[in-house]
Amino acid sequence: MLIDGHCHLAGSTELAQRQQKYQILTILNCDSPEEWEENQRLTKEGDLQLLSFGVHPWKADQYRFEAVLPYLEKANIIGEIGLDSVWTEVPLATQLTIFEQQLIYAMERQKPVVLHTKGCEAEILSLIKKNPNRYLIHWYSSMALQKAYIDFGCYFTIGIDLMRNNAVKELAKKVPLDRLLIETDGLAAIEWALDRKVQVDDYVAILRCHLQSLAELRNIESTILAEKMTKNLQVFING
């Protein structure tokens, strides 16, 4: 079975249907109440397309914790949440308030968390150590603190730029096989990472190619790695 450990549908019915057709085990991120409702309409009930919900750091100035609490309660997976000092102008203090609230909520209810860590790797590591839980680090692309996050027991989704980004490649070599996952982050992220136009029809082939590249890097058969990652994702979700 193929997995996509972190994906944004971005309203694409075709992508949702493609994941269903090829039975791809996927965590689909929802970063607003509107996206939660939309993704519920686009996906089938079942155990393959799993919705996560969380206030993304880029939107930390748009929502109060109390306003999104009903959606956090509906979700079995919290995320992606985190901090970002690189790709957004939302003040870190604003990000930090709702990030900590969501971390505490998830820890108290033992809901697994998907993390966005751009430029704030040290701050986030310190915070998650205060809130023990199951954590999945989405597309970690820093050379800093890789071992510290691994030693803390985090899961990692390897980004689609595996063969282009040295930090991602080095991380992919180090993550224990029982905590290793892959992701696409959605079609827009694939285009960004590969620097070319991508169609929905390309999605499955790109995901398979990503799996193969990681399998070769880790010197393991792709079918065996796919089986391991399917189990890893299930364990992350269900504990």
Binding-site sequence positions for a divalent metal cation: 6, 8, 80, 116, 138, 185
CA distance 187 to 37: 20
Among left, alpha and beta (phi > 0; psi -120 to 50; other), residue 182 is beta
Which residues is 228 bridged to in the sheet? none
Q: Where are the beta strands (DSSP E) in 83-196?
A: 113-116, 135-138, 155-158, 180-182
Tokens 């308030």 found at: 97
Spatial contact of 27 and 186, defined as CB atoms under 8 Å apart: no
Spatial contact of 203 and 187, defined as CB atoms under 8 Å apart: yes
Give the Å distances, CA to CA, from 225 to 1, 11, 141, 221.
10, 30, 21, 6
Query: In this structure, what token pair is assigned to residue 149?
Result: 């996050």
How, if at all, do strands 25-30 and 113-116 pair?
A: unpaired
Indicate the annotated binding residues. Answer: 6, 8, 80, 116, 138, 185
